[in-house]
Amino acid sequence: MTDQPDPRLARLDGFRVEIDADRARADIVLARPPMNTISMPQRDQLRHAFEALDEDGRVRVIVLRADGEHFSSGGYIRGFLEASPEHVSKLAWNIAAPARCSKPVIAANRGYTFGVGFEISLACDFRIVSETCQYALPEQKLGQIPGSGGSARLQKIVGITRTKDIVMRSRRISARQALDWGIATDCVPDDRLEAAVDALVDELRAFAPLAQRTAKRLLNETEDALLTTAIELEGHCYSRLRQSDDFREGVEAFHEKRKPNFTGS
């Protein structure tokens, strides 16, 4: 692992950042076990970490994971009463940082993945879960609703009926059910979680960086678009990528039956 000179990655509250430049991988690791509760200041810092890693040329893929047997039991409850209204109004923007990041982001979830822990995982591109994972948005038990995009993102994935079932009943969803409902990308035995994430990192970093960034942005920005609009935007993106060095390299490598050497240009 290498040290990070970026000041945004110094004095982190409740998490750490690790960069493996040889594998073009960065890990944001929740590090307040056993429950990995997420404080109010930590939410700002998580956003800063994603922004810093998005600008880091050594990094192709970002992994969000946690120490211990639980990803996160959610936020520090008393912090909601102590935070200013202005700070609270920024919660969803901070937790949406993985979605805004141009690089692929993988959430590795095991054990309790509740509240803001679930919400930030929903903002990631891939959710690999161990069989011990439980998802929940328990805010109703506190007389509240999810405030960091959880119900909105979940409704896009599973529809209004299932979202009401999860949100209005503070219902826990098992790993297998999350996979069946399309919340999780894959579900693996607990002792295989790290290996599954490693394999996905290696798979993703083998693709052309520019094409991958384009695909993520296109899919995110056309989620609410009309089909005709989405198809038109897809065509524009496709046309632009045809001019890239990586596309030419991909075509030549295909015909020469060799592995492509993508450079991100």
Residue from 69, 86, 131, 139 carrying the catalytic annotation: 139
Backbone angles phi, psi at 7, to 5 degrees: -65, -20
Quick check: is 194 catalytic? no
Query: Which ranges constitute the DSSP H helices of the chain?
Result: 40-55, 78-82, 85-88, 91-95, 97-100, 116-122, 150-158, 160-167, 175-180, 193-204, 209-221, 227-241, 245-255
Backbone angles phi, psi at 242, to 5 degrees: -60, -25
Going 6 to 4 to 83 to 122, the CA torsion angle's sign is positive
Q: Which of 165, 106, 159, 109 is nearest to 134 (CA)?
A: 109
- Which residues lie across from 113 on neighbouring strands? 72, 135
Q: Residue 159 region, left (φ>0) first, then alpha (ψ -120 to 50), else beta?
A: left
Quick check: is 139 catalytic? yes
- The single residue listed with the structure tokens 């079932």 is 165
- CA 226 to CA 115: how far, in whole Å? 31
Residue from 51, 69, 86, 119 carrying the catalytic annotation: 119
- CA 170 to CA 209: how far, in whole Å? 39
* 3-class state of residue 100 by DSSP: helix
Q: Which residues are catalytic?
A: 119, 139
